[in-house]
């Protein structure tokens, strides 16, 4: 009879196996057995064989240990931890086709293989079925070290129920039946060396030597209610073939040492993870559980389902390539559900373009490299033959994986650079590279977060949220986002091709230079060493802090709550520019076609505010200040300036800002300078208290000022009218000039000369103010085209009062250091009181009074000169003042 090929794994000729099965069915009991170590008995009763174990450990030698379909093998053990080693010394594989029952731990060792048939039912405390050998000495000493050079398989096609653990060991292990563990672990391990240890109700399994034939296959069902499930193989020289094939169903409670399900190739070769793998039960407060797959290469098969059932549980896919090689994970149309997915692989791929992509349901997905020290290339998928190599030390991430994993929250961590071939499409992607990240082809999704030494974005990036952090950031294309966060530790810059658009932007780091390109950032916060932004549309800035200069340009409106710079602040907007608090070494604010406004300004150097359509100035503390506008200038708060003040506009108005006692003066904002003050209005100027070294106030229409105090000269010019409560030039001249009425209601005092010229000159008394007396130590000149109405004047030089109309005065006119001249249509001293001897006019030198009618005067006196009173002869004689 010709020999037939050996049955795979068992190396038995079919006729021998058939004869063996027939003999087993006809036998009344299992083969002959002898107790080699320990004490007990073997009792046969028809189809039932009972082994009574008396000692904690026992070794039985069997000729075959076959259990036919109609047979039962019962093993009575003294405790659930009692262990019985069943060593088969015959030449054939052990075939358990019937029932095997035991209360403790049962070890079946047959180097020729073990088959548990599809009708078999095994109920044990624990079961170890192995084609690897363990010595009696090791077994009895509790050292469960299995080894061998066999090629025989261990196969389960039946049902194994264990209260604790199950382990199938050999170079090739298969499960096509059902394995159920209530409280322990289930392990399928393929290698030439395996070490076991029982830990509590579970097993610890360690592969100690690889096998050329190593293969684990599970196409059946494995259930561990509370423990772990492990499928593990150690293959040698199996770079391309699968050494673990999981196509069945696995359920684990995950409360053992492994905390879940582990499928692993400990040597070379790949793992195919398919079927259905689940973690069962609740893990609300327990340690993290996981479904873990590790190998040099991992293939997630079509239809595979991973489900951890717990929000804090994870799926871990970890490649373990040889040094210098590349690990790879390839995804088919699978479903992975977990709180967290952790992938460690150099190459991450998806199937062909026309195949289905994986579906992820996870809070986050993390991808990091194993040997790809030079980084990742996105959207590049190597050929199948090239998956074990690295191109230039870089790994690959396919576009299909980015799209599928990015639907959740994908993190990619690279040891080197990250670059992309073509635009990256992912819903939520976070990239981190220790070197450079180059997305020059753009990105499309909902969320992009990038870290690196340098970052470059090009083409078009569109997302709800974009966050970038690196030493050096270059934006070289279109970026559109609802929120944009840029943290350039050393620098962040844009190019001429850049066009940024964001509802909210946060810019921080070193130097922020967004001066090139066209950008529309509606709301911006800045915290940088320096910042220069050019913005295309309307912009709102919450807080901008620069440790050097801060430069802002806007083609629309610009609104800022706070601008704070250690250097200079320079803001230019085409539309309205409105600032809250602004501080810097110097501050320049300009609106080319709108209003410029600020609430509070602090400038160590100076401030220049220019609004084409208006300026609103708030509280100001600066070394110098310029407010300029073709529109109105509104001073909303006190201006406290150390240097010169220059204000010009259509109308210049100081707002009413204070209540209570104002010493008779309007409660308007003050202008205070340690240097010169100049105000020029094309229309009206309405001011509060103004003080400076020299003061020059001018209005083409009405000038209304509460008070003026100048250390040197003071000039007030209101073309249509001038009103001042009081004015003082402590070391200079005081000049009031108007084509209309000049009204003053308090003292006009100058250390130099006082000159008052107007269409009318009126001294009016206001309550709360001292009498409106003119005191000019360098001389006084008052001219009213239509009239002059004075209270009193005291000159240290000449005193000259002239008018084409009437001149009236109620107090004395004194020229203590010169002559007094009065010339008008009429000259009247009103209400001098106490008779005609009270002086109404006094001069050290000449006194000259001329009028078209006889003047009405009190006493007129010249100390060293002459008194001349001139009027027409036909006029009445001079009347004393008390008769007027």
CA distance 119 to 157: 8
Least confident span in 18-27, 110-119, 656-665, 803-812: 18-27
The answer to whether residues 228 and 261 touch, using CB atoms and an 8 Å cutoff, is: yes
Q: What angle do CA 699, 703, 705 make, to 5 degrees?
A: 130
Instruction: Give the model's confidence band at 17: pLDDT under 50 very low, under 70 low, under 90 confident, else very high.
Output: very low
Q: List pLDDT tens digits, range 150-163.
A: 999 999 999 999 99
Q: List pLDDT tens digits, range 207-247.
A: 999 998 899 999 999 999 989 999 999 988 755 577 999 99
The answer to whether residues 382 and 363 touch, using CB atoms and an 8 Å cutoff, is: no
Stretch 562-587: mean pLDDT: 96
State what percent of residues in the chain have pLDDT above 70. 91
Stretch 420-435: mean pLDDT: 88
Query: What pLDDT is stored for residue 2 in this prediction?
Result: 36
Query: What pLDDT is stored for residue 15 in this prediction?
Result: 32
The answer to whether residues 863 and 843 touch, using CB atoms and an 8 Å cutoff, is: yes
User: Which domains, ranges and CATH numbers included, belong to the chain?
Assistant: 1-281+288-295 (2.160.20.10)
Classify the phi-psi angles of 661: left when phi > 0, otherwise alpha if psi is within -120 to 50, otherwise beta: beta
Q: How many residues does the chain have?
A: 884
| CA proximity to 79, closest of 45, 52, 103 | 103
Beta-sheet pairing, 144-147 with 193-199: antiparallel
| Residue with tokens 């009413």, as numbered in its chain | 656
Q: What is the pTM of this model?
A: 0.78
Class of residue 154 by CB neighbours under 10 A (exposed 0-12, middle 13-18, buried 19+): buried
Stretch 779-794: mean pLDDT: 96
Q: Is pLDDT of 477 > 70?
A: yes
Query: What pLDDT is stored for residue 764 in this prediction?
Result: 92
Instruction: Give the model's confidence band at 390: pLDDT under 50 very low, under 70 low, under 90 confident, else very high.
Output: confident
Query: What pLDDT is stored for residue 880 in this prediction?
Result: 55
Stretch 624-651: mean pLDDT: 94
3-state helix vs strand vs coil in the chain, percent to 5:
5, 60, 40
Q: Is pLDDT of 835 > 50?
A: no
CA distance 264 to 573: 64
Query: What pLDDT is stored for residue 388 in this prediction?
Result: 67
Mapping DSSP to helix (H, G, I), strand (E, B) and coil, where does residue 16 land?
A: helix
Query: What pLDDT is stored for residue 874 in this prediction?
Result: 58
CA terminus-to-terminus distance, the chain? 164
CA distance 328 to 463: 29
Stretch 678-701: mean pLDDT: 97
| Residue with tokens 């998928």, as numbered in its chain | 381
Residue of 665 and 468 predicted with greater confidence: 468
CA distance 445 to 803: 83
Instruction: Give the model's confidence band at 200: pLDDT under 50 very low, under 70 low, under 90 confident, else very high.
Output: confident
Stretch 368-394: mean pLDDT: 78
CA distance 807 to 801: 8
Q: Give the containing element (helix H, strand E) for 72.
A: strand 72-76
Q: Compute the Cα dihedral for 73, 76, 82, 88 and give only its sign.
A: negative
Query: What pLDDT is stored for residue 11 in this prediction?
Result: 38
Query: What pLDDT is stored for residue 9 in this prediction?
Result: 38
CA distance 381 to 442: 18
Stretch 492-502: mean pLDDT: 94
Query: What pLDDT is stored for residue 25 in this prediction?
Result: 38
CA distance 695 to 716: 8
Phi (first) and psi of residue 451, to 5 degrees: -120, 150
Residues 6+ apart with CB under 8 A from 619: 599, 600, 601, 636, 637, 638, 639
The answer to whether residues 146 and 131 touch, using CB atoms and an 8 Å cutoff, is: no
| CA proximity to 817, closest of 795, 802, 792 | 795
What is the token pair recorded at 123? 């109920």
| Residue with tokens 């929250």, as numbered in its chain | 409
Mapping DSSP to helix (H, G, I), strand (E, B) and coil, where does residue 24 land?
A: helix
Instruction: Give the model's confidence band at 202: pLDDT under 50 very low, under 70 low, under 90 confident, else very high.
Output: confident
Cα 440 vs. chain centroid, distance in angstroms? 22
CA distance 156 to 141: 28
The answer to whether residues 333 and 353 touch, using CB atoms and an 8 Å cutoff, is: no
Query: What pLDDT is stored for residue 751 in this prediction?
Result: 96
The answer to whether residues 510 and 526 touch, using CB atoms and an 8 Å cutoff, is: no
CA distances from 875 to 849, 871, 878, 882 (A): 14, 7, 9, 19
Mapping DSSP to helix (H, G, I), strand (E, B) and coil, where does residue 385 land?
A: helix
Query: What pLDDT is stored for residue 238 in this prediction?
Result: 58
What is the token pair recorded at 657? 């800002």
Beta-sheet pairing, 48-53 with 40-45: antiparallel
CA distance 801 to 273: 111
**β-bridge mates for residue 499, sequence order:** 478
CA distance 97 to 21: 9
Q: List pLDDT tens digits, range 317-363.
A: 999 887 777 888 999 999 999 999 999 999 998 876 567 899 999 98
Q: Is pLDDT of 171 > 50?
A: yes
CA distance 572 to 649: 18
Q: What one-character-per-residue DSSP string does 693-742 give?
A: SSEEEEESSEEEEEEEEESS-EEEEESSEEEEEEEEETTS-EEEE-SSEE
Q: List pLDDT tens digits, range 585-612.
A: 999 999 999 999 999 999 999 999 999 9
Q: Is pLDDT of 27 > 70?
A: no
CA distance 772 to 766: 9
Q: What is the mean pLDDT of the chain?
A: 89
Query: What pLDDT is stored for residue 459 in this prediction?
Result: 94
Instruction: Give the model's confidence band at 385: pLDDT under 50 very low, under 70 low, under 90 confident, else very high.
Output: low
Least confident span in 28-32, 353-357, 415-419: 28-32
CA distance 338 to 172: 31
| CA proximity to 172, closest of 187, 157, 194, 150 | 150
């Amino acid at each position: 009879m010709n020999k037939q090929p050996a049955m795979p794994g068992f190396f038995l000729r079919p006729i021998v196996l058939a004869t063996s099965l027939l003999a087993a069915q006809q036998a009344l009991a299992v083969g002959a057995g002898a107790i080699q170590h320990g004490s007990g008995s073997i009792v046969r009763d028809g189809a039932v064989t009972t082994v009574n174990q008396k000692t904690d450990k026992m070794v039985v030698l069997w000729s075959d240990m076959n259990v036919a379909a109609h047979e039962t093998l019962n093993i009575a053990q003294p405790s659930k931890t009692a262990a019985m080693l069943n060593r088969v010394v015959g030449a054939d594989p052990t075939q358990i086709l019937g029932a095997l029952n035991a209360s403790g731990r049962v070890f079946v060792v047959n180097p020729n293989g073990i088959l548990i048939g599809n009708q078999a039912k095994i109920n044990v405390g624990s079961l170890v079925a192995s084609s690897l050998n363990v010595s009696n000495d090791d077994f009895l000493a509790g050292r469960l070290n299995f080894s061998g050079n066999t090629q025989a398989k261990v196969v389960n096609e039946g049902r194994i129920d264990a209260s604790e653990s199950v382990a199938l060991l050999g170079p090739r292990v298969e499960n096509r039946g059902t394995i159920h563990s209530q409280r322990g672990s289930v392990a399928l391990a393929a290698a030439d060396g395996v070490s076991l240890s029982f830990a509590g109700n579970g097993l610890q399994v360690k592969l100690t030597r690889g096998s050329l034939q190593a293969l684990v296959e599970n196409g059946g069902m494995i259930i561990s209610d509370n423990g772990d499930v492990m499928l593990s193989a150690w293959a040698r020289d199996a770079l391309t073939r699968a050494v673990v094939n999981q196509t069945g169903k696995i359920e684990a409670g995950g409360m053992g040492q492994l905390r879940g399900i582990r499928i692993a190739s400990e040597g070379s070769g790949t793992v195919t993870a398919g079927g259905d793998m689940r973690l069962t039960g609740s893990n609300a407060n327990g340690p993290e559980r996981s479904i873990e797959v590790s190998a040099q290469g991992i293939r997630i098969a079509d239809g595979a389902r991973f489900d951890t059932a717990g929000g804090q549980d994870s799926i871990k896919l970890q490649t373990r390539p040889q040094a210098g090689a590349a690990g790879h994970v390839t995804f088919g149309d699978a479903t992975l559900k977990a709180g967290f997915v952790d992938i460690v692989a150099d190459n991450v791929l998806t199937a062909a373009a026309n195949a289905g992509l994986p579906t992820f349901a996870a809070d986050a997905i993390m991808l990091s490299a194993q040997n790809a020290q030079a980084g990742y290339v996105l959207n590049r998928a190597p050929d199948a033959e090239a998956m074990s190599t690295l191109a230039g030390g870089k790994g690959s991430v396919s576009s299909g994986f980015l799209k599928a994993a990015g639907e959740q929250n994908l993190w990619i961590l690279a040891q080197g650079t990250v670059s992309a071939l073509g635009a990256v499409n992912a819903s939520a992607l976070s990239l981190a590279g220790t070197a450079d990240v180059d997305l020059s082809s753009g990105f499309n999704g909902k969320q992009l977060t990038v870290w690196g030494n340098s970052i470059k974005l090009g083409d078009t990036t569109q997302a709800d949220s974009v966050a970038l952090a690196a030493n050096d950031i270059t934006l070289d294309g279109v970026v559109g986002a609802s929120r944009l966060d840029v943290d350039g530790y050393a620098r962040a810059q844009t190019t001429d091709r850049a066009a940024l658009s964001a509802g909210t932007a946060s810019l921080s780091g070193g130097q922020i230079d967004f001066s090139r390109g066209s950008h529309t950032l509606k709301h911006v916060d800045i915290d940088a060493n320096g910042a220069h932004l050019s913005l295309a549309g309307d912009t709102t800035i919450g807080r901008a802090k620069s440790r050097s200069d801060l430069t802002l340009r806007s083609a629309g409106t610009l609104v800022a709550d706070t601008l704070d710079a250690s250097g200079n602040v320079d803001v230019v907007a085409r539309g309205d520019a409105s600032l809250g608090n602004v501080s810097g070494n110097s501050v320049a604010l300009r609106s080319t076609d709108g209003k410029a406004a600020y609430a509070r300004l602090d400038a160590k150097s100076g401030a220049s505010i220019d609004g084409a359509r208006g300026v609103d100035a708030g509280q100001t503390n600066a070394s110098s200040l310029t407010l300029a506008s073709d529109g109105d200038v509104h001073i909303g708060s006190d201006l406290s300036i150390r240097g010169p003040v220059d204000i010009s506009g259509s109308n210049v108005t100081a707002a009413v800002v204070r209540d209570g006692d104002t010493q008779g003066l309007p409660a308007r904002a003050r202008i205070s300078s340690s240097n010169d003050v100049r105000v020029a209005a094309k229309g009206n100027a309405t001011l509060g208290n103004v003080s400076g070294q020299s003061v020059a106030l001018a209005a083409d229409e009405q000038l209304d000022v509460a008070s003026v105090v100048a250390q040197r000269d003071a000039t007030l010019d209101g073309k249509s009218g001038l009103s001042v409560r009081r004015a003082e030039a402590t070391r200079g001249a005081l000049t009031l000039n108007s084509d209309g009425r000049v009204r003053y209601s308090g003292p006009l005092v100058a250390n130099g000369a006082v000159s008052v010229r107007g269409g009318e000159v009126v001294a009016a008394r206001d309550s709360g103010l001292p009498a409106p007396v003119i005191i000019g130590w360098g001389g006084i000149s008052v001219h009213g085209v239509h009239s002059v109405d004075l209270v009193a004047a005291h000159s240290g030089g000449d005193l000259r009062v002239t008018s084409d109309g009437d001149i009236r005065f109620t107090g004395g006119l004194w020229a203590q250091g010169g002559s007094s001249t009065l010339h008008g249509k009429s000259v009247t001293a009103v209400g001098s009181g106490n008779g005609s001897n009270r002086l109404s006019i006094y001069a050290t030198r000449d006194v000259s009074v001329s009028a078209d009618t006889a003047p009405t005067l009190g006493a007129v006196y010249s100390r060293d000169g002459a008194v001349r009173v001139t009027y027409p002869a036909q006029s009445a004689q001079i009347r004393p003042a008390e008769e007027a």
